[in-house]
Amino acid sequence: MIRLGLVGAGRILPAHLRGYQVLRQAGVDDFRMTGLTSRTRQAAESYVRRGGPPPRPPVSRQPSDPLSVSDVYVSDVQDDVVPEVFDSLEALLASETVDALDISASLPVHHTAALSGLAAGKHCLVQKPLAISVAAGRLMVEAAARRGLSLGVTENLRYAPAVRIARWIIERGLIGEVQMIGRWGLGTAEWSPDRVVAETSWRHTKRLAGGGASLDIGVHLLHELRYLAGPIETVSAVTRVFEPLRYLPSGEAVACDVDDAFFATVAFASGAVGQLTFSWAGHGPPSGLPTGRIIYGSRGSLQGDTLFRDGQAPVSAADLFAAEADPATRDRLFPFGLQDTFALGALDFLQAIVAGRDPEASGRAGLFDLAAAFAICESAALGRPVGVAEVLSGAVRTYQADIDQHYGVVVQ
C-alpha cells in the first residue's frame, strides 16, 4: 500500500482528487491518502471530508479546464482512512506516515517542497511547471536520481486521449515524417483581456510565477510538441505584456510584470519546425486554429481529430484507433480504459514507484519542458534564437538570474 501525502490545498487539488477517485472506481486499490498539509490548516481541512470547512469555489466554468473541478473530497476517494492534517510539510515528513508526496502547492514552493520530500526519502509528484527556474528544477532531478526515488510532474496534457492517439498515428508512420506542427491561440474566454479569474495574483509576478503565459501554458504546449515531434533544439520568440494591470473579480488591480502573450518558433532535432502562440490578452472573442493543433508530415497531416493521408479519404483518428489499435496498445495508453488525464498521470506515478522507475511524465521530462519554456523568455530577452541545451545547462540564464538570486538557488 502506497501512502500519499497531499501538499497544497489550492484550486487544482480537486482535479487531483478526482483523478484518484476515478482510479479507485476502476479498481486500483494500492494507495491511500494518509496526510495533508497546506499553507493554512483550514485550507487543508476543507478537503478532508464533506461537511467540514468549505473549500474555495472553482474559478472556471470551462469543462475542459481542471480549475473547473469542484466538490471532490478525500472522503469521496476513500472511506477507510482519514488523512491526518499537519500544520507544515516538516511535521508531515517527521510523522513517517507517508511514502510519497503529491505536491499541488503553488509554484514558488515546488522545488523546496520536493527537495525536502526527496531528502526524507519520499517519491514526489509535482504539479506543473516543475520549478520556479531551470536551476531549481535541475536540483530536484539530481536529488531524485541520487536517492533512487521516483520523480514525476503532473503534466496532464500528455495523457489526453487526443494527444496519445496523435502519438500513435505518428508512431505508425501514417503521416510520414513530421515536418511542421502548429499550436496557435489568442485570447481566452475567462482570462482575457485583463481578468484574473483564478484569483492567483502570483501568476502575474515574475518572482512568484517565473514567467507568464510562456511558463504556465508554454510547458503544456511544449511538452505536447516534444511528445509528438521529438526533442526541441532551438527556440526563437517574442513576448509582450499587453495588459500591465489585471483585475480580480473584486475589482482589485494586480500589476503584471510577466508576459501575457508569447509568439515562438521552435526547431526540432529531426528538422521539423513548429510554431506556437498563446495569449491571456486580446480584446474580443478568443481565436485560434479551429482544430486546435495541426501536424503536417511527409505523407499526410493530422488536423485535430481528422487524419488526412495522401490518396485516401479523411478519417477520424479516434475512430481509427478504436478500430485498429491492438489490446496491448490500448492497455499501454489507456490502462483500465481510463480517459481522465489526472487519473492516468497518478496511476503512472504509482506504478513507477512499485517498478522503481520514473513515470512517463518524469521530472526529467518536466525539466526539459521548463528549459524550453524559459527558452521563450531567454530568446525574447536576448533578441536571438536560443538553444534549449543552453538553457538546460545554465549557460543562458539572463532572464532567470534574478529569480535564482531571489530564491538562493545556486547555479552550478
Strands (E), 12-69: 31-37
| Residues 104-126: tens digit of each pLDDT | 999 999 999 999 999 999 999 99
Q: Mean pLDDT over residues 246-271, rounded?
A: 95
In degrees rounded to 5, what are phi and psi of residue 340?
-65, 125
Give pLDDT, residue 303: 97
pLDDT band per the 50, 70, 90 thresholds, residue 239: very high
- The crossing angle, in degrees rounded to 10, of helices 110-119 and 134-147 is 10
Residue 1 has pLDDT above 80, yes or no: yes
At 320, list the grid cell: 481509427
Look at residue 412 and tell me whether its pLDDT is greater than 80.
Answer: no
Percent of the chain with pLDDT over 70: 100
Confidence at residue 172, expressed as pLDDT on a 0 to 100 scale:
97
pLDDT band at 165 (very low <50, low <70, confident <90, very high): very high
- At 14, the amino acid letter reads P
Rounded mean pLDDT, 11-15: 93
Q: Contact, 2 vs 353, CB < 8 A?
A: yes
- Please state the φ and ψ torsions of residue 8, each to the nearest 5 degrees: 110, 140
Q: What angle do CA 239, 109, 358 make, to 5 degrees?
A: 90
Residue 88 pLDDT greater than 90, yes or no: yes
Average pLDDT over the chain, rounded to an integer: 95
Count CB neighbours of 284 within 10 A: 9
d(CA 101, CA 152): 10
Q: What is the mean pLDDT of residues 153-165?
A: 97
Strand ranges (DSSP E) for 133-289? 151-154, 178-186, 232-240, 245-247, 253-255, 261-268, 273-279, 287-288
Say yes or no to pLDDT of 246 above 90: yes
Q: For residues 85 and 47, is the Cβ–Cβ distance under 8 A? A: no
| Confidence band, pLDDT 50/70/90 cuts, at residue 57 | confident
Please give the average per-residue pLDDT across 161-183, as a whole number. 97
CATH, domain 158-335, list 3.40.800.20, 3.30.428.10, 3.30.420.10, 3.30.360.10: 3.30.360.10
Q: Are 61 and 68 in contact (CB under 8 A)?
A: yes
- The rounded distance, in Å, linking the Cα atoms of 28 and 335 is 11
CATH superfamily of 2-157+339-360: NAD(P)-binding Rossmann-like Domain (3.40.50.720)
Burial class of residue 410, CB neighbours in 10 A (0-12, 13-18, 19+): exposed
User: Are the C-beta atoms of 274 and 235 separated by less than 8 Å?
Assistant: no
Bridging pattern class, strands 2-7 and 31-37 = parallel
- The total of other beta-carbon atoms located within 10 Å of residue 338's CB is 21
DSSP 303: E
Q: What does the alpha-carbon distance between residue 252 and residue 401 come to, in Å, rounded to a whole number?
A: 30
Q: How confident is the model at residue 134 (pLDDT cuts 50, 70, 90)?
A: very high
Please choose, from the candidates 208, 213, 306, 309, the residue with its C-alpha nearest in 3D space to the C-alpha of residue 263.
213
pLDDT at residue 63 greater than cutoff 90: no
pTM of the complete model: 0.96
Average pLDDT over residues 211-236: 97
Q: pLDDT by residue (tens digit) across 305-339?
A: 999 999 999 999 999 999 999 999 999 999 999 99
pLDDT level of residue 403 (50, 70, 90 thresholds): very high
Host H or E run for residue 17: helix 13-25
Read out DSSP for 164-228?
A: HHHHHHHHTTTT-SEEEEEEEEE--TTTTTTB-TT--GGGG-HHHHSSSHHHHTHHHHHHHHHHH
pLDDT surpasses 80 at 7? yes
pLDDT given at position 271: 98
User: Each residue of 271-283: pLDDT tens digit?
Assistant: 999 999 999 999 9
pLDDT in tens, 284-298: 999 999 889 999 999
Inter-residue contact 317 to 294 (CB < 8 Å): no
Q: Residues 226-259, buried b or exposed e (16+ Cβ, 10 A)?
A: bbbbeebbbbbbebebbbeebeeeeeeebebebb
**pLDDT of 411 over the 80 cut:** no
Residue 186 corresponds to which amino acid?
L
The per-residue pLDDT for 66 is 84
Q: Give the domain ranges of the chain.
A: 2-157+339-360, 158-335
**What are the grid coordinates assigned to 241, written together?**
505584456
Cell of residue 35, nine digits:
496526510
Q: Which helix (H) or strand (E) holds 300?
A: strand 300-303
In this prediction, residue 64 carries a pLDDT of 80
Average pLDDT over residues 57-64: 80
CA 78/CA 24 separation, integer angstroms: 8
State what percent of residues in the chain have pLDDT above 90: 89
Q: What is the pLDDT of residues 341-388, one digit of tens each?
A: 999 999 999 999 999 999 999 999 999 999 999 999 999 999 999 999
282's CB contacts (< 8 A; 6+ apart) are 186, 187, 188, 192, 193, 242, 261
Confidence of residue 131 (pLDDT cuts 50, 70, 90): very high
Give the integer Cα–Cα distance in Å for 14 and 23.
14
